[in-house]
Structure 1
């Protein structure tokens, strides 16, 4: 049996904002944007009255699906800390972490902690920082490899 990753789905508060942010800050291109059939999406996610518009975006081999729900009326706002169960983040390689942080700040992405140097693992020696989107709580990681410092 062959299994490969198809995409990472992210529920966002404002599809226009998030699509522009992924394009301008992280170099993604939109490959599809459209509403989904409410009956199908309700059956898939197990929530009656679900209404969603999605934007599929690609950067190299990475694909994200941004999902913006307008239904049902009652939807939660879940903003876990990075250490909380269910939390996830996307990590991006950047050439200049300070310049990337400046660009990200224009899109309401603010540091969760501080820039740190990793001392073990596949990113040993890299400078990293976690950013959180004020609009919907998404956590994104910037990684500057030692060779780019």
Structure 2
């Protein structure tokens, strides 16, 4: 069953998520990981952006006025949203990635058809994986299996699979968008 678009009175003309932006410590390493390990495709790179005298950077993206975006690279991963990678320099830059439990913590989840094969592949590539795959057997998320893993610089990522759907879908309410629906 294809997911029906969510409806809400909100942002006029919203179609969906275009990209997720992530700041990385080293663009070459990040692009190499996303392309060579995860299988994403590099679409484009551009930059730098800076303002050595004014407040452009603060006004535009709420960072230190002397912050510099060295490079921006966009990658496309399968049938999902794009990922925009930023390499910044800033006088007040924090270099420790947030945990999922931190305010502003985050992760990017990649849908996979076979989570056991994905787990084996990631481990064979030397990627640090967390516990799992863990099958969810109870509650509204029953039917999915998950496993978190880390990019070399600590970005939290997740492999997720629910080839037969999740329990909540049987309720007839809003169904989440899924890359698995793109093959139907």
**Is the Cα–Cα contact under 8 Å of residues 64 and 92 in structure 2 kept in the other structure?**
no
**Is the Cα–Cα contact under 8 Å of residues 81 and 87 in structure 1 kept in the other structure?**
yes
Give the count of matched residue pairs. Answer: 144
- 2:85 aligns with 66
- 2:103 aligns with 85
Give the 5 Å matches for 1:1-149. 1-3=12-14, 4-39=16-51, 40-45=56-61, 46-52=63-69, 53-59=71-77, 60-69=79-88, 71-105=89-123, 109-119=127-137, 120-121=139-140, 123-135=141-153, 137-146=154-163
Higher strand share: 1
Q: Which whole-Å CA distance do the structure 2 matches of 1:115 and 1:33 have between them? A: 34
Give the alignment's Cα RMSD to 1 decimal: 2.4
**Structure of higher CA gyration radius:** 2
Report the CA distance shift for 1:61/1:143 in structure 2 as closer, same or farther (over 3 A).
closer
Moved over 6 A (4+): none
Report the CA distance shift for 1:80/1:61 in structure 2 as closer, same or farther (over 3 A).
closer
Q: Which whole-Å CA distance do the structure 1 matches of 2:118 and 2:57 have between them? A: 35
Q: Which whole-Å CA distance do the structure 2 matches of 1:44 and 1:109 have between them? A: 35
Runs of at least 5 residues in structure 2 that lack an aligned partner in the other structure: 1-11, 165-184
Q: Which whole-Å CA distance do the structure 1 matches of 2:97 and 2:103 have between them? A: 11
SS of aligned partner of 1:8: strand
- TM-score, normalising length from structure 1? 0.79
